[in-house]
Amino acid sequence: MSALGEQFVSEARELVAQATDALLGIERDGVSAGLVDQVLRAFHTLKGSAGLLDLPAMVLAMHVAEDLATSIQGGGTSPTPPVITQMLACLDLVAGWIDAFESGGDLPPSAGNEAREMSEALRGVLAPSGPAAAPQGGVLPGWAVQTIQMHHATLRSRAGVGELFAIAYEPRASCFYDGDDPLQLLRRIPALLALRVEGANIPPAEIDPFACLLRFYVLAEGPRDALAGIFRLVPDQVQIVDLPADALHAVPEEVAPAGAHTIVRRLINEQREMLQVSGPDNALPGRIGAAGRSAANALRHARLDQLADEVNEAGAAAQVDADAGALVAALAVALSSIDAQTSSAPVATAGNPDATEDAANRWIRVPEARVDALINLSGELIVLKNSFAHLARRIESEGSQDLSRAMRREQEAIDRLAGEVHDAVLRLRMVPLAQAFRPMPRLVRDLSQQLGKKVQLVTRGETVESDKAVVDRLFEPLLHIVRNAVDHGIETPQVRKAAGKPEAGTIAIAASRAGDRIIIQIEDDGRGIDPEAVRRTAEQRRLMAPDALAVLSDEETIELIFAAGFSTAAEITDISGRGVGMDVVRKTVEQIGGRVFLTSRKGGGTTVRLDMPVSIATARIMVVESAGQRFGISMDSVSETVRLTPNRVSQVKQNEGFVLRDRVVPICSLAELMSLGGQTKTDAESRLLIVLEVGTKIAAVEVDAIRARTEAVLKPMQGLLAGARGYAGTTILGDGTVLLVLDLKEILG
């Protein structure tokens, strides 16, 4: 894909997300200028970008969507749930097209039919204001408003009494091959008052000389039938809008572009200085005319029409008198007037909050491959740091105390530097959790409407940052939890009202950071989980023996919802009943070193707590030895270490175990788990155990020794070992040996 295509994909996805957020905000909080402007900007930019890449289907869909957004902005269309739903459906269609473009470089073959169907659906919810209709309630399309603003002076001097129309003509890129001549059609307009032309922003090297890349916007006098007859062969490319008689007053004059006064002042000052330079007398009239026209045009660009007229009159008089004095004086007056307006206008400075916010929100896109390369380099620096520590220990054990102390100091300096570099590099991958939270409002909205429920979503802590890999993996667990909360947790309005609750249920997602962990809590005020219903379902699905189920506490019973295939749904629908849900949540979270905790109270709601690492690029590991071999164990799964005397070990059926704070903990040997053999312990020897907790399960792994606790950069298993089970990855120790890091959760599971 070309660089232009890659940029389009990236920006288009951001625009779709921004428009989705804004539409949900309009539905939730009502129409506001900021939100509607955000939707309009997104639709307009998507349309322009699609036109630049020759994607006519997307241009068609976005064109109608932009008209609908303009109608909402002017009050012609009310943003009812069906309207918002249709606009969101359009964005979903565009998102699918973007994915197809990224993978294949073009839209799918069905895009044309999909675009026409979507356009008809959007027009179906659009208040009558089509190409042949007058705008409702004074609502004018954005292109018409802009054209009127740019030609206020033309309309002001208009002496005609005929009907006034605005015409948008967007020829197809292939119009020349269709036998159409856009300029010839425009020349046939009998009373053309103003013309605005827009072109695609394409680098010269990429322009197709046989494609029409222009859009035309016209103000003209009627009658309508004559105008429609001119464009009768291209009706799908033309929109004709009746303008009210007071169009000039209904549309405010365009404000001067930002920074225009500064540029205009500089240009006028240059003209004045040019007139004051001596030169041949026969060249003076030409210089006066050129300076007067340049200054007047600049003043009109800054919307200073009165000053422009005064400069024109002074220039004409100066040419008649062959004396530049009158024009120089008029230019001085214009400069004084501009200075007075500039000094009274608010200026965005460093003290201006808006200016500060704009500067703070500037982002630089960094290719992910470059960030990964930096992380790999910083990982090698960590390895070097570990090597230094190993070397320092060797020197200390072999002799010279002075040398060892010096090496220690250097090692500590490298340790500090390596840690700082690594932290700085990891921060490059840090992104706000808002990226994972963003799809949730749309999910809640669609599900609640589908299920006939009223649900409001509250999010907090969106600005908390975590590693991009963590945020990307977080989406699926959040999806299942929020979907379960809407489907299983929140009751219907009638049930909630009967229970004395507000008709609208609430789901709250809150994120916070605690040290090197991210805590995400998803809480709802719904019906909660009924332990008895869980027991019945578990018995029906034969997840546990009836006698074992009977002795479980309510808290232990609720944990059964994490079992694979567990579901209490009465029937299978698009949302529930397929047995895929909370087991996926726990498995996904644990794969990245996290943990899931669930509490629920019948009738009082459910809370799911996710405890996640900030980053998965590094891991805290414990180096253990068993049967003469060393292995790494992730510290996230280690609860504590215990050294047992033989009298504390008991035989439980075929296995050994011991009691730890009123809980029976089974014992297994790491040497046996890894099929290493090893020597059998004598009855007099104490045993070193590492206690692991996986969910509600607990177990102890016996090892011969614990060698170190350290931070390591884990590399995934590659090549022939890529599919090996029971391994979290590999790392390199300070002495250069490769250490296998075990995934004991998988081994013991």
For residue range 190-245, what is the model confidence (pLDDT) as tens digits? Answer: 888 888 888 765 656 567 778 888 889 888 887 888 888 888 777 668 888 887 76
DSSP helix/strand/coil, 682: coil
- C-alpha of 234 from chain center: 39
Per-residue model confidence (pLDDT) at position 427: 76
Q: Which residue has the tokens 């919307």?
A: 303
Q: How far apart are CA 292 and CA 327, in angstroms?
A: 7
Percent of the chain with pLDDT over 70: 81
| Whole-model pTM over 0.75 | no
Pick the CATH number of 3-127 from 1.20.120.160, 2.60.120.260, 3.60.110.10, 3.40.718.10: 1.20.120.160
Six-digit token string for 213: 């890349």
The conformation of residue 257, written as its DSSP 8-state character, comes to P
Give the H/E segment covering residue 644: strand 638-644
Tokens of 418: 């390596």
Segment 512-518 shows an average pLDDT of 86
Q: What are phi and psi of 715, to 5 degrees?
A: -110, 135
CA dist 426 → 367, 377, 413, 713 (Å): 14, 11, 20, 12
Tell which CATH architecture fits domain 138-250: 2-Layer Sandwich (3.30)
Q: Which residues pair with 198 in a beta bridge?
A: 215
Length of the chain, please?
749
| Cis peptide bond prior to 223, omega within 30° of 0 | yes
705 forms bridges with which residues in the sheet?
Answer: 625
> What would the two tokens of residue 135 be?
């705008």
521: its two tokens:
């809590």
Given pLDDT bands bounded at 50, 70 and 90, which one contains residue 506? very high
Q: Count Cα atoms within 13 angstroms, Cβ side, for 279.
A: 15
pLDDT of 206 reads 65
Q: Which CATH superfamily is domain 618-748 in?
A: CheA-289, Domain 4 (2.40.50.180)
Beta carbons of 309 and 292 less than 8 angstroms apart: no
Q: In whole angstroms, what is the distance from residue 583 CA to residue 563 CA?
A: 6
Q: How far is CA 499 from CA 487, 558, 600, 606, 614, in A?
A: 18, 23, 17, 16, 40
Instruction: Show me where the domains of the chain are located.
Output: 3-127, 138-250, 260-347, 368-429, 446-613, 618-748
Tens digit of each residue's pLDDT (9 = 90 or more) over 22-70: 999 888 888 887 888 888 888 888 887 887 777 888 888 888 888 888 8
Q: In one letter, which amino acid is 293? A: R
Ramachandran category for residue 579: left, alpha or beta (phi over 0 → left; psi -120 to 50 → alpha): left
- Helices 440-451 & 468-484 angle (0-180, nearest 10): 10
- Helix, strand counts (H, E) of the chain: 27, 22
For CA atoms 540, 542, 544, 548, the dihedral sign is: positive
CATH 3.40.50.700 fits 446-613, yes or no: no
Express each pLDDT in 130-182 by its tens digit.
333 444 445 677 777 777 777 766 666 655 556 788 888 888 887 887 778 88
pLDDT tens readout for residues 99-131: 988 888 888 888 888 888 888 888 888 754 433
Tell me the pLDDT of the chain averaged across its residues: 78
Which residues, 6 or more positions from 194, have their beta carbon under 8 angstroms from its beta carbon?
147, 150, 151, 154, 155, 218, 219
- Reported as a pLDDT band with limits 50, 70 and 90, residue 287 is confident
Phi and psi at residue 694, to the nearest 5°: -125, 100
| Nearest C-alpha neighbor of 112 from the set 174, 55, 63 | 55
- Alpha carbon distances (Å) from 687 to 110, 527, 668, 681: 68, 48, 11, 8
- State the Cα–Cα distance between residues 321 and 96, nearest whole angstrom: 69
